[in-house]
Chains A and B, each alone.
Chain A
């Protein structure tokens, strides 16, 4: 009797777990197929878009009328952006595929800049037509390679999940047809970079950052001294000093310390020993001092930087912290690229952070031309529905990464504030910003 009962119970559990396991397996498969399908979609979209891109560039070359050229270029810009989105959805992050992505970005950038230009007045130059031809050839190669991969994927029913698996488990990313295909695509782009760079396209040449740094090389001993000066006179022997590797834009020394709940960190340039990034972290108490008082502390702190003419342009309170942005000003001109940010704790007014990377990257004695149009003329370029409240002269970096002298207008329309930059030599609207108001707290009840 007992035996029969046990047998029945056991067989029931076995059947039960079998059914449960089957269901689980089915669910898992459904999820896997779902993931696989979204990869497949991104991949096939990508090949289609590259194909389209190649076609469009080709027909641009054949086009004669300016009227159809601009929309065509805008179309190219749109396609590159879509192709880039497709790439972003494929598991390619740790694969060397960034050259292709940069290629797409450059094509888009080029197309955008020519599309928004008035082609009636400034038609495509010889050089630009040359660039287009190279782009056509390049995109053709990429298309062919991708179509080959696509063909294999369809013929052999290759799955992207396997790529994912191969990448996750194998450190020598080896024998996967898709991966190999993409590597070939990447190689075909490799040659492109140089050829078009010479043709004057692509704005990302080797970046000449921090070329205006002044001062002599500092030794490690000096670094310790300077760092301890910045980090609240901490004992130099307690500082850990490391030097940056060869990937850094500018050689730096990093000094850090840890004492109790407080830790400090500072990056100093090897040339001149200028502070780039400084951070002190500690638990904060409730805000005691006002933002205004804190801003005075920040101004006083910047006195130690040996930098003249910094103007406070923005202050914000984030809970227990005040963050202040300063820009360099000279002869009434604000230099927006040369900015320094200071963070002050509002519990006791201690300065907890300094970021001067931008300042040291850009700051130099620029030879500026005087504005060619008057302030009154510039005002007429502003949308008449806006009410101009304040105006300054300012230097900003525009879309083409050039530094331009502008008239800056702070204007209002209804309850919104806009910052408008009008180029001081030709009156173009260089940049329009909507200045952000505070955001309503969403999780008020929490």
Chain B
């Protein structure tokens, strides 16, 4: 009697669980979201796009989730080969053709990215031959568990590296962390104006570390950890925003000790800083 009961309970539990496991194995057939993808975009759609293009042999670069020039030319070649309008935009038409022509093993690609492996995804080549595992695999695996999956590269404005941006963000944060956002962009713009000026060093690090140029550098505040806002301000300045009006100097009128700085033609005041030529 007891056996019967247990069996029934077990069966019931199994029936409860089975449908769920069934769902989990069902793969979505259509992976792309319905957004149009264009050059400069990042994210999962781009990973899928690059994988599918590589599967077909159009894309030979790294699958990194950033729609750069390599992906752009691959899309255009694909469009010309498949008789589509050649514009480098990935709309519904292109996606349909891509999905029809190629296979996309999302699990495999995402797994490789998550593990930080070097890999390719050409069609007709066994997958084992397409990966090269990196040494710090176990480490990265551990780290990967805590973070959402995302692309392995980022867009950076031409001429700058993420590290340059980080260094500038450090300087901006040290110099102007109490200032309004615009004031931070203006400080970043002053650094860039100095780089392009004849009377200052011509690199970002040269300008920032010029002796006595920035108080935050002299007193070590530059080594505080900057927040996201400072980084955003630096990106804006690099992308062309200059609320300072081409200023080369700025100073805080309450603490400025040099009389010379007051003699410079002033442009405007933003927050606590006066910006001048």
Contact = CB atoms under 8 A, between A and B. Distances in A.
A173 B257 CA distance: 10
Given A172-B259, A281-B181, A439-B154, A417 B40 contact: no
B210 interface: yes
A279 B239 contact: no
Nearest to A418: B69
A417 B242 CA distance: 29
Interface in B146-167: 152-159, 161-163
Interface in A333-386: 339, 341, 343, 353, 355, 357-358
A355 B36 contact: no
Interface in A154-177: 164, 167-173
A339 to B, nearest CB: 7
A299 to B, nearest CB: 12
Nearest to A84: B201
Nearest to A315: B40
Nearest to A101: B199
Given A93-B211, A101-B199, A341 B240 contact: yes
Interface in A313-331: 314-319, 321-323, 325
Contacts of B101: none
Contacts of B9: none
Interface in B212-233: 212-213, 229, 232
B39 A315 contact: yes
Interface residues of B, number: 75
Interface string B14-54: 00000000000000000001011111111101000000000
B260 A102 contact: no
Interface stretch (B58-66, B102-110, B123-131, B170-178): B58-66
Contact of B245 (A248, A287, A290): A248
B236 A244 contact: no
Q: At the interface, is chain A mostly helix, strand, loop or mixed? A: mixed
Interface string B241-277: 1110111000000000111110011111100000011
Give the dominant DSSP class at B's interface: loop
B89 interface: yes
A164 B211 CA distance: 9
Contacts of A101: 198-200
B57 interface: no
B260 A339 contact: no
Contacts of B260: 94-96, 173
A233 interface: no
A93 B162 contact: no
Nearest to A247: B265
A92 B43 CA distance: 47
Nearest to A90: B211
A441 B200 contact: no
B213 A93 contact: yes
B70 A437 contact: yes
B68 A437 contact: yes
Contacts of B204: none
B199 A105 contact: yes
Given A102-B199, A291-B41, A94 B68 contact: no
A316 B155 contact: yes
Contacts of B45: 290
B40 A440 contact: no
Contact of B154 (A249, A279, A441): A441
Interface in A393-412: 412
B37 A292 contact: yes
B268 A244 contact: yes
A315 B72 CA distance: 12
Contact of A279 (B38, B116, B243, B269): B243
Nearest to B251: A94
Interface in B71-97: 73, 76, 89
Contacts of B261: 94
B235 interface: yes
A381 B212 CA distance: 48
Contacts of A84: 201-202
Interface of B: 33, 35-43, 45, 60-61, 64, 66, 68-70, 73, 76, 89, 116, 139-140, 143, 152-159, 161-163, 180-182, 185, 198-202, 206, 210-213, 229, 232, 235-236, 239-243, 245-247, 257-261, 264-269, 276-277
Q: Which 9 A-B pairs have the closest CB atoms?
A: A247-B265, A290-B35, A438-B66, A105-B198, A91-B211, A281-B181, A98-B199, A88-B201, A101-B199
7 contacts: A91-B212, A173-B258, A204-B198, A245-B266, A281-B229, A323-B235, A437-B69
Given A172-B259, A279-B241, 11 more contacts: A247-B247, A291-B37, A315-B39, A315-B41, A317-B42, A318-B154, A353-B236, A358-B240, A438-B66, A438-B154, A445-B143
